[in-house]
């Protein structure tokens, strides 16, 4: 070689070395900092628990549970080392001999049966790199592996790998894989199961035991053979493990239980913690829900609403068509527009239920609709509807607070109001149809209001107890006229109604809209002896490291005096024993509550309670159509509410509300409200705040008057 050629080759070699050095330097500078692994937190699964520790649901982008290396079975560790990297504890991040051996075996097999990458290389690819198959990506993988090995111990690297690797079917990490494929904790896996799991990460879909059983068994045998070859197990253990039949147990992670409750939690937590922490942070969300109670509620709820559709759906659709035609006629539409036929697809009635522990506010069951997959609108929390007569307890509470008693007499007679330009005024003396017509003859129609009872009947003077038990509209309206609507609205809001209330006479009929959760919580004040407790769903949230992020406790406020609360319990009890909710009287406990039906039978309600649990239920159509003429909660809704409460309170000891100091009892004549005489045919033991009980005896010679003539109404 002459001098010129030597210098040319020398220059070319230096140029190549310099270019390689510059390229390597740039490649190294572009590598992610492996120091981030010190604070690395993989995407972990957030779990939602009921109040007894049962898993309700899981929230995740990647299903994963982090577990320390010392809790991972030795067989599983050895299985991975055997099939993935048997020189892991001796090499320095890369294994040239391993890559060469894998290349030869894969070539002879005609497919990928063994990988050449070390566990450290796989970890660098899993966390930092893409899956692209280029020379540059492979070179970066090698450089990253060397850096990882310099910074972390072998145990730390192996732990990160086992918690990061993907097994298929949404399972990341060994803990999630054990749960997904075998329904077990990873600590409980046997040798056969460990070998099967270790064989999956190479080709998760190809070796899936759910989809390709024979391939999975073959791969398991390969892992076991390699373990025996490396003397991690004996030949006898290998043979025994190979004979174990494949027993998979697919574990569903996305529970269909309580979907409206889970979405309610999400709406509370996502703005507070962000979606990244909520879905990837491995939080433990401990809720107030009772899984057993929830499952019972969902079954009863679903079956009952399906039965309603079968029995009444077609009738409701005919009524819906009639209403549309009436609206068209009223608007002056052409007769041709009246040709509307009933739909062949009957709309499904909707419903909602919420059960709350009145003394703590803990939500034990929640259903927001029939099918969460079709409608995520939560009718227990978000829907505002007219509560109808379910609102009446607040009218009676205001009456008791004003000095009236359960024995006070209020007339259930035809009643009319006239607007004087500022307020609605009761037309005194107009107590029959004739006198009302005379008194309003010269008054514009829009200035006259003639409320009616549900059944169109009137039964004359009656006690407050009877008026509430049989939900007489006229009694409620006369009470609110006497007390003032603002006073009633104030009491309702003190008890927990947060929705705005129109302080007008029709408030007595429940015309101001509210939500089921508000109404249930508010009436729960009576069940809790006058203490209103805000409903809540989240007891505690713990992060991945066990740190408590938040913990919630009952928020109590004394709203109603124990005496007034006891009187309300005493009154609402009669609604169940002899009033509109008599079908609930089969529950062998103290049960009280109030039914309700809104205008034109658009909503059915019942909120009832024992001292330990209050449950509110609602039925209606989302488009506010009528459920049907003469539909009432007493015959439609109360029966399935009762079925739920029978199951929910089955194991709860029976108890009655505590009688507070300052309450006295007296026997009264049920017709007149006076103290009873031996000649009075209907006598009741009535509760009073001491000093307000009647002082006079019944003055009447009673004419027999059958209460059975009185229709129950809402």
Query: Which positions are catalytic?
Result: 84, 389
CA atoms within 13 A on the CB side of 214: 0
Give Dmax (Cα) for the chain.
144
| Sequence-separated (6 or more) residues with CB below 8 Å from residue 552 | 536, 538, 539, 540
Cα–Cα distance for residue pair 36/4, rounded to 1 Å: 51
The count of other CB atoms within 10 Å of the CB of residue 637 is 27
Alpha-carbon dihedral sign for residues 482, 485, 491, 492:
positive
* CA 553/CA 612 separation, integer angstroms: 17
CA 14 to chain CA mean position, Å: 70
Q: Where are the alpha helices (DSSP H) in 355-391?
A: none
Sheet holding 538-542, edge to edge: 55-59, 46-49, 284-287, 538-542, 548-551
Classify the C-alpha dihedral 258-261-265-270 as positive or negative: positive
User: Residue 490: CB partners within 8 Å, gap ≥ 6?
Assistant: 398
**Contacts for 319 with CB less than 8 Å, ≥ 6 apart:** 625, 626, 628, 629
> What is the distance between the alpha carbons of residues 550 and 543, in angstroms, rounded to a whole number?
10
* CA atoms of 315 and 304, how far apart (whole Å): 17
Neighbours of 21 (CB within 10 A): 10
CA atoms within 13 A on the CB side of 176: 28
- Give the three-class secondary structure for 407: coil
How far is residue 385's CA from residue 597's CA, in Å, rounded to a whole number? Answer: 11
User: What tokens does 463 get?
Assistant: 């006690």
What does the angle CA 70 – CA 76 – CA 79 come to, to the nearest 5 degrees? 135
Using DSSP, state whether 123 is helix, strand or coil.
helix
| Structure token pair of residue 76 | 């599983």
Cα distances (Å, whole numbers) of residue 250 to 170, 174, 189, 408: 12, 15, 15, 65
410 in Cβ contact with 426 (< 8 Å): no
CA-nearest of 699, 703, 696 to 681 is: 703
Taking alpha carbons only, the member of 350, 302, 354, 388 closest to residue 633 is 388
Nearest to 143 by CA among 121, 119, 160, 165: 121
Strands 46-49 and 284-287: parallel
- Residue 533, SS3? strand
The answer to whether the beta carbons of residues 463 and 407 sit under 8 Å apart is: yes
Residue with tokens 């649901």: 57
Measured CA to CA, the distance from residue 306 to residue 300 in angstroms comes to: 10
Helix, strand, coil shares of the chain, percent, nearest 5, are 45, 15, 40
Gap between the Cα atoms of 31 and 26, Å rounded: 9
Token pair of 673 as six digits: 């409200």
Q: How far apart are CA 179 and CA 169, in angstroms?
A: 11
Burial of 130 (0-12, 13-18, 19+ CB in 10 A): exposed
- Chain centroid to Cα 596, Å, comes to 24
């Amino acid at each position: 070689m002459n001098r010129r050629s030597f210098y040319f080759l020398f220059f070319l070699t230096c140029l190549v070395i310099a270019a390689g050095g510059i390229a390597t330097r740039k490649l190294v500078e572009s590598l992610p900092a492996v120091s981030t692994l010190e604070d690395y937190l993989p995407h972990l699964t957030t779990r939602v628990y009921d109040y007894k520790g049962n898993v309700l649901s899981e929230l995740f982008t990647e299903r994963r549970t982090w577990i320390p290396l010392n809790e991972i079975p030795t067989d599983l560790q050895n299985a991975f080392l055997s099939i993935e990297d048997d020189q892991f504890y001796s090499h320095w991040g890369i294994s040239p001999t391993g890559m060469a051996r894998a290349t030869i075996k894969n070539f002879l097999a005609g497919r990928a049966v063994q990988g050449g990458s070390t566990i450290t290389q796989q970890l660098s690819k899993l966390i930092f790199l893409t899956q692209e198959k280029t020379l540059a990506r492979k070179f970066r993988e090698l450089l990253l592996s060397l850096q990882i090995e310099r910074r972390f111990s072998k145990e730390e690297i192996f732990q990160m790998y086992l918690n990061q690797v993907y097994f298929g079917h949404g399972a990341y990490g060994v803990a999630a894989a054990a749960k997904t494929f075998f329904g077990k904790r990873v600590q409980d896996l046997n040798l056969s199961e460990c070998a099967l799991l270790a064989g999956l990460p190479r080709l998760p879909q190809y070796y899936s035991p759910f989809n390709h059983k024979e391939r999975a068994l073959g791969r398991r045998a390969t892992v076991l053979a390699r373990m025996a070859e490396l003397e991690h197990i004996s030949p006898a253990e290998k043979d025994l493990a190979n004979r174990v039949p494949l027993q998979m147990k697919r574990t569903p992670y996305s529970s269909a239980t309580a979907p409206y409750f889970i979405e309610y939690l999400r709406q509370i937590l996502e703005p507070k913690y962000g979606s990244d922490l909520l879905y990837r942070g491995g939080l433990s969300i401990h809720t107030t829900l009772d899984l057993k109670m929830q499952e019972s509620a969902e079954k009863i709820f679903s079956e009952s609403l399906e039965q309603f559709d079968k029995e009444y759906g077609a009738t409701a659709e005919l009524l819906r068509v009639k209403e549309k035609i009436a609206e068209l006629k009223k608007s002056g539409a052409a007769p041709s527009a009246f040709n509307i036929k009933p739909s062949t697809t009957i709309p499904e009635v909707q419903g909602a239920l919420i059960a709350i522990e009145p003394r703590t506010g803990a939500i034990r069951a929640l259903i927001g609709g029939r099918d969460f997959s079709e409608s995520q609108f939560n009718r227990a929390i978000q829907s505002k509807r007219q509560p109808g007569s379910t609102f009446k307890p607040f009218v009676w509470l205001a009456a008791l607070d004003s000095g009236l008693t359960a024995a006070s007499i209020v007339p259930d007679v035809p009643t009319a109001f006239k607007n004087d330009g500022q307020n609605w005024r009761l037309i005194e003396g107009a107590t029959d149809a004739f006198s009302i017509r005379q008194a309003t003859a010269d008054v514009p129609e829009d200035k006259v209001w003639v409320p009616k009872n549900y059944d169109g009947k009137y039964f004359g003077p009656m006690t407050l107890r009877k008026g509430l038990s049989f939900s007489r509209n006229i009694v409620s309206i006369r009470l609110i006229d006497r007390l003032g609507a603002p006073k009633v609205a104030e009491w309702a809001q003190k008890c927990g109604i947060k929705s705005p209330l129109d302080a007008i006479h029709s408030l007595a009929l429940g015309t101001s809209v509210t939500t089921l959760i508000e109404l249930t919580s508010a009436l729960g004040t009576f069940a809790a002896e006058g203490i209103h407790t805000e409903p809540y769903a989240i007891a505690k949230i713990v992060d991945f490291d066990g740190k408590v992020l938040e913990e919630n406790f009952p928020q109590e406020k004394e709203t109603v005096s124990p005496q007034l609360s006891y009187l309300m319990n005493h009154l609402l009890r009669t609604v169940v024993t002899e009033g509109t909710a008599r079908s609930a009287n089969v529950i062998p406990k103290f049960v009280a509550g109030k039914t309700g039906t809104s205008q034109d039978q658009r909503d059915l309600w019942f909120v009832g309670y024992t001292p330990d649990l209050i449950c509110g239920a609602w039925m209606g159509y989302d488009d506010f159509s009528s459920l049907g003429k003469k539909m009432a909660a007493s015959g439609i809704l109360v029966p399935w509410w009762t079925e739920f409460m029978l199951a929910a309170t089955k194991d709860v000891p029976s108890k009655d509300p505590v009688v507070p100091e300052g309450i006295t009892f007296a026997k009264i004549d049920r017709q007149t409200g006076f103290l009873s005489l031996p000649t009075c045919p209907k006598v009741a033991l009535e509760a009073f705040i001491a000093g307000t009980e009647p002082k006079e005896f019944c003055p009447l010679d009673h004419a027999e008057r059958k209460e059975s003539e009185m229709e129950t109404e809402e």
